[in-house]
Amino acid sequence: MVKPHKKIKKALPLEKRGDELIVGGISVFPIFEPSKGFIYLGTNRKVSPEEAGQVLGMLQGDIPDLLALRRFLLKRPPFEVEEEEGRIAPLSSFREWSVSTLDYSGVVRLKEDGEPEEWSKEAVLLHKILRRKTPQEAKSLIPLWRVEVKGGIAKLLKEFGALGLLSQEPATMSSYSNSRTTFEEPMLGVEFEIPSGGEALETVRRAITLLMKKGLVLAYERDASVRGGELKLVPFPATVEKVVEVAEVLEGLQQLGGELFEAPHIKSGLHVHINVWPLRETLDRTKVYEVVDLFQSRFRLQKMFGRRFNQYARRILYASDVEYKYFWLSARSLPQTVEVRLGNSQKPPLKTLLSALLVQRVLWAVGKGEVSAKDLSQKPANELVEALSSLFTPEEWRVVSKHVQKHVL
């Protein structure tokens, strides 16, 4: 038996093959037990309690729809159909089914209370076929306990459901665009590279489609440096709250992609554009380099961002090189943005985004004349941390402080 509130950390591969929903290589389908009025997830092979918990965790977003399906199966149809056989398959959820016979076909949609939108022949046949399935047809029965999924993938699975995700058309890559939008408020823009291709990329691309529909992803573009393409997120306010939300989404994509983000021989970037357009009269390249010098001299940048200086984000000790495209803090896009290029899309996103947010707060404070990067770089560690804390609200600093203190020199 699966214990309630069991936590799982690792995402399982998801696939919909014909009318089968496959989770981690295990085919699952709803099984109704009429004598008890319970509904279970049946599996095509024996599963251990640990596997059952993992499967159920991946279907957390689908459980409310399975419970609506149970309510449907507890109802009595207003008429009967003669047909004994038919093909049924869940579509975007367990509340939406395709039903077909040799003579007719259609889609059955259930309301939250289990009532079908219409008691059509298809709805009655669906009811008949699902009620006819017996627990003996399954190798294992998984009761619908609550299983907590750890990490960003929980946000994707709970909001969209596995079936909702798999029912999407995979997003297609467009050509790279270098367009920029100007804002008057502090904003961040994220570019997230997907290292490689493979079977898991198909599922990630379906998730990208959903994120586009929700207005979180602006574009999915080709990138010459990686096979999987690059996501451009919709620019968002430069606050700790939004940074945490965005990091959860990116972490969910990492977990969903699994092996795509685990290849050790492939390096892929997580780049953050910092909006500095409102500071165009006061923040020049010289001041940007002073900020560069502050971070290079007073922070463990490699550990802070989770990526070493390399050919794509190397340490260059001349002010003019902040205009170089691959410099770790590139001012090439001034006066619109400054780009932080030290992030790695295979590493924890929150680490990179919090580091970029710290750079953003310092850049804006320097541009507005509130602090001097040169003065900050001369302060003892405790005074530097105290000065940086003034750039955040008390609530934000509670989230950021450990990250800053851990990497300051």
Give 51-78 as a DSSP string.
HHHHHHHHTGGGHHHHHHHHHHHTS--S
Q: What is the pLDDT of residues 4-55, one digit of tens each?
A: 556 666 778 888 887 889 999 999 999 999 888 999 999 999 999 889 998 9
Domain-located, residue 180: no
Q: What is the pLDDT of residue 318?
A: 44
CA–CA distance from 168 to each of 1, 91, 158, 208, 247 (Å)? 33, 10, 16, 9, 23
CB 228 within 8 A of CB 194: yes
Q: Are 269 and 320 in contact (CB under 8 A)?
A: no
Which of these, 408, 373, 2, 340, lies nearest to 191 by C-alpha position?
340
Give backbone dihedrals phi and psi of 215, rounded to 5 degrees, phi first: 80, 25
Q: State which residues form the domain around 344.
A: 187-407
In a domain, 175, yes or no: no
- Spatial neighbors of 3 by CB under 8 A, at least 6 apart, are 49, 53, 145
Rounded to the nearest angstrom, the gap between the alpha carbon of residue 170 and the centroid of all alpha carbons in its chain is 15
250 and 370 within one domain: yes
Same domain, 146 and 193: no
Asked if 145 and 244 sit in the same domain, the reply is: no
Are 204 and 277 members of one domain?
Answer: yes
Count of alpha carbons within 13 angstroms of residue 252, beta-carbon side: 26
The model's pTM: 0.86
**Residue 198: CB atoms within 10 Å:** 15
Q: Which of 97, 125, 151 delimits the end of a domain?
A: 151
Structural domain includes residue 176: no
Assess whether 102 and 36 both reside in one domain.
yes
Q: What is the mean pLDDT of residues 260-286?
A: 87
Tell me the mean pLDDT in the region 155-180: 87
Q: Which helix (H) or strand (E) holds 384?
A: helix 381-389
Evaluate if residue 309 carries a pLDDT over 70.
Answer: no
- Residue 174 is assigned to a structural domain of this protein: no
Last residue of some domain: 125, 151, 177?
A: 151
Tally of domains in the chain: 2
Of 12-26, 304-318, 341-355, 394-408, the one with minimum mean pLDDT is: 304-318
Flag the least confident range among 155-159, 289-293, 358-362.
155-159
137 sits in the region (left: phi over 0; alpha: psi -120 to 50; else beta) called alpha
Dump pLDDT digits (tens) for 129-163.
999 988 999 999 999 987 877 777 887 888 889 99
Residue 168 belongs to some domain of the structure: no
